[in-house]
Structure 1
């Protein structure tokens, strides 16, 4: 959900350069999967929620497996390990929309995988948000954990089915959300550096919300009759912009502690960090932080030092190689405009720009929230200008904008310049090859 995506092969190379060996994608995009061929990276592909309904047909499930799994599992192909059926399908916000379609889709995809000869190596699962289980308000400790009452029977059926097929329970756990959504949440309890008051549960002391949340799931699985079921953390991370607690400092603190914990081997968890790259067109319905989960910026530049091995080495990750930028141009507020009638249109022009482009860094607590009024206008104008590939007309704003070659970034507020998207580069490459072919034909004639 980014307006300008890097070439998939560039992203794969960036991951390999940084020693990333497993990747989870949220669909089965053929361009992405083709780029993963021969990489030996373990891949989780996915069926989006809006396809769960059609997967109730076994014929559709077979067709999907043939097209999106079998097609890529040849020698030297893609190392597909899991098929994720839906994503957080039982979120309360969905109001039961996928309640009747998720389990049948799971069953059909697993059956299709088995029939195609993949069932032993490729497992079906359904990543779920941590809100599918809880502890009662009267006893808010992990050992009291159970699946949510409205889906308890369904969850019991699902986890027993998954466990029977040696498939894992995939859960998304976000300490950031616990902190961001509860004004009374103790800040230190979201991290791993031991500053929080422990939560005591029958002699077990929990020093952070991740461990407490994880063990709540462990107890819920025990009560559902699958005490030894494998758990995979499908998403965990910390955003870097858009709201008060989403910043580089907190993100680094979280990852440093979390990765050190993973490296210690306690629990031997399989974990997918979320996410890799920022997404400027992602929905902000859950919050203005949603577009800033990446450990890399939109252009493949690392945001902060991080040691993915958990060894504590403070170093920046290897950036993406071969990124092309549209140009070193910015769009800013035209300070020469003095006409009051024109200036009264500023609010409407800023609103227009931010309706289409990403202005979440301007929100309270964001990295650009400290700009003055003219800075806010310039940031909004530039975001729209970059979204439109630096088209000069996109900096008009009824005469209130002006293009400059001077970088308008200020302090920790980045005024970005746009990259040439992967699709544009691919199209240009095809056009170039076509031109060469035409020239060759002309020469031969």
Structure 2
């Protein structure tokens, strides 16, 4: 990825007028850490600050990340994983401990602390593929966190929200006027909306024009990309020119039917992937991002909320993550505006008064070595070895429409071998594959198909160590609470 790519960024506060008051519209970015070799948190914070990104949404309370953000003056949304909802719903002490460990500890240090704006309870717990497993715990967990914030005297500074998936609401006709919440989630949603209203918290929601296009045949690419030549939709004399407005107003109508027509909306996740599927490319992502930013900064709003855009919007996401679940598709690992190592993927204008988006600096990589297939031996078993490698490593770029889909056999075998080799920190025996692998110092990348070299272990949290730290902290907290006699 060339370092001189210019990506224009403006995460500025824009004032949007409404009939009642002026409201600030802000822009932020999701920062996920589901990567085998994540860019070190301190390096990511440098990347954020160098590009004047002032709002970040996290999916958990990673202590390494929170420490790196201390004193950065970046506004923060901290996520609570779905796996913690049951215990937080059952135990007020668990909620108090979570708030103490992840908020009070970091926010009490004045200018050197972390500026926490929201606590996101759960990560899209109403996602249809999850079934109803989290329904009984969502509102109770949010209420206990709210009580803990009050006790910690943080309730005036930090709001509790629950991020909702784009499939939590739907329209049988595909038009906003028929928008409603899914019947199975409706009861719990009403309880949540009452809670949010009581505490003046906004509704956090994912909107995904890419998924709408990818999964729905009646959404055209031009309609998803804000193209002027896209065929508009007419809904009761309201004209829809793009997929974003269509989805947003479907939610607005669902909120109105539920009895909450004036609720503020925050777009918790929106973006366009750059690999792993057809029409998931850097060029198309650039087109989408430019269209989105132009639309948001125009302050035009939507047909149901004219001149009233979402109060905040969080781009998904900052960096690619090679360990994200690919249940929805291989594109899930390629949402980043930056590559895994902090290099800008494309050019886009985010608004007036913007400056050049800078790449991560002084990134340290492993040696310039790759693992490829040895063409001088019998390759009859190479495909089986490649499939085995891909079961551990990330081969999403090889999927149909991906950046490496068109490289010829055995180039695709080499790609799989190298992905595994890099995942294993270039250990010599990880390029064996029964004698099929060969280590080379000649970059085998072809056209847009990049054979990556991973980050140095010293410059990242190793895959094993990272997972242990990530899982041991909540585990130890649970053990301690059980030892103290806290009931779950």
Q: Does the alignment reach a TM-score above 0.5? A: yes
Instruction: Give the corresponding residue for 2:373.
Output: 333
Instruction: Give the corresponding residue for 2:180.
Output: 146
Q: Of residues 270, 277, 281 in structure 2, which corresponds to 1:247?
A: 281
Instruction: Give the corresponding residue for 2:158.
Output: 122
1:4 aligns with 2:37: yes
Instruction: Give the corresponding residue for 1:442.
Output: none
1-structure distance, mates of 2:60, 2:197: 24
Please list every run of at least 4 consecutive aligned residues from structure 1 whose deviation after the TM superposition is greater than 4 angstroms: none
- CA apart distance, 1:423: 2.5
Instruction: Give the corresponding residue for 1:443.
Output: none
C-alpha offsets along residues 256-303 of structure 1, whole Å, 9 cap, x if unaligned?
A: 100111222233431000011111111111111111011111111111
1:201 aligns with 2:242: no
Q: 1:424 to 1:360 in 2, by over 3 A?
A: closer
Equivalent position SS for 1:84: strand
2:339, 2:345 within 8 Å by CA — same for their partners in 1?
Answer: yes
What are the ranges of 5 or more consecutive residues in structure 2 without an aligned counterpart?
1-33, 301-307, 466-488
2-structure distance, mates of 1:227, 1:348: 56
1:380 aligns with 2:399: no
Instruction: Give the corresponding residue for 2:195.
Output: 161
Equivalent position SS for 2:79: strand
Matched length: 418
Instruction: Give the corresponding residue for 1:46.
Output: 79
2-structure distance, mates of 1:311, 1:377: 46
2-structure distance, mates of 1:317, 1:292: 19
2-structure distance, mates of 1:225, 1:120: 26
- CA apart distance, 1:188: 1.2
1:261 aligns with 2:303: no
**Structure exhibiting the larger radius of gyration computed from Cα positions:** 1
1:62 aligns with 2:96: yes
TM (normalized to structure 2)?
0.83
Q: Of residues 348, 358, 369 in structure 2, which corresponds to 1:318?
A: 358
1:306, 1:317 within 8 Å by CA — same for their partners in 2?
Answer: no
What are the ranges of 5 or more consecutive residues in structure 1 without an aligned counterpart?
428-445
1-structure distance, mates of 2:38, 2:273: 19
TM (normalized to structure 1)?
0.91
- CA apart distance, 1:311: 4.2
Equivalent position SS for 1:2: coil
1:289 aligns with 2:323: no
C-alpha offsets along residues 132-178 of structure 1, whole Å, 9 cap, x if unaligned?
A: 112233xx321222222222222112112101101010000000001
1:256, 1:312 within 8 Å by CA — same for their partners in 2?
Answer: no
1:172 aligns with 2:206: yes
2-structure distance, mates of 1:97, 1:153: 14
2-structure distance, mates of 1:104, 1:254: 38
2:219, 2:243 within 8 Å by CA — same for their partners in 1?
Answer: no
1-structure distance, mates of 2:165, 2:431: 41
1:189 aligns with 2:227: no
C-alpha offsets along residues 191-244 of structure 1, whole Å, 9 cap, x if unaligned?
A: 112221111122211111111111111122222222221110000000011111
What pairs up with 1:216-255 in 2 under 5 angstroms? 216-255=250-289
2-structure distance, mates of 1:94, 1:292: 22
